[in-house]
Amino acid sequence: MRRLVVLPLVAVLLGGGVAAAAPTATAAPTTGTVCPTGWGSLPEDRTAAGSLPLVNVRTGAQPCFDRIVLDVPGSSAAHPVGYHVRYVDTLYQDGSGRPVPVRGGALIEIVVEAPSYDVGTGGATYPGRAGQPLPGVDLTGYRTFVEAKFASSFEGRTQLGLGVRARLPFQVFQLDGRLVVDVAHSWTATAR
């Protein structure tokens, strides 16, 4: 008997809570996310000496852009890691000059002044293999990123190829322990 009394009471309370939380017909319609503007597609470079190693590469999909993050512990805005990020027609592997095929409508070369190995011991700090997809990076469902490949780690620099849907605007910036490259989904300022 108690169950029959308690359960209807719980259902009435939950039903009332749901009705109170439901949106009203007078709510303003959403128009989409306003995306950052002012990015471009020209090369971005920063010169900085150092031998901090690259330890990981990861990606993330955002409403307005896709993001690739290169983890370089010890780097920061005050102690930056050098980089060169630019659109290229073909990715040529540093050291050998061999072309590295990367799928996409456009290709971004990312060079970070950080080896994927410990300069003291020569031991690997990041398991990338020349011409192979980046370990642990799955770009399924991304709007802009198509393919990401490891090109080389040569003379203290690591080179990656990022295939994107089209030549789209990007930005590069540094946070503590990481270099970030964002590539917009479009040239317009609203996410769809």
pLDDT digits (tens, 9 = 90+) for 101-160: 999 999 999 999 999 999 889 899 999 999 999 999 999 999 999 999 999 999 999 999
Polymer length of the chain: 192
**Mean pLDDT, rounded, for 96-101:** 95
pLDDT digits (tens, 9 = 90+) for 157-172: 999 999 999 999 999 9
User: Is 19 part of a structural domain of the chain?
Assistant: no
Give the CA angle between residues 40, 65, 28 to the nearest 5°: 115
pLDDT of residue 159: 97
- Number of structural domains in the chain: 1
Indicate the Cα dihedral angle 53, 90, 93, 128, nearest 10°. 50
User: Is 7 part of a structural domain of the chain?
Assistant: no
User: Is 151 part of a structural domain of the chain?
Assistant: yes
**Which range marks the domain in which residue 101 is found?**
44-184
Helix (H) or strand (E) holding 46: strand 44-46
Largest CA distance in the chain: 81
Q: Give the CATH number, domain containing residue 157.
A: 2.60.40.3500
- The C-alpha atoms of residue 92 and residue 95 are separated, in whole angstroms, by 9
- The C-alpha atoms of residue 29 and residue 101 are separated, in whole angstroms, by 45
User: Is 179 part of a structural domain of the chain?
Assistant: yes
**Mean pLDDT, rounded, for 8-16:** 41
pLDDT digits (tens, 9 = 90+) for 24-76: 444 444 456 788 878 999 999 999 877 899 999 999 999 999 999 999 999 99
User: Is 191 part of a structural domain of the chain?
Assistant: no
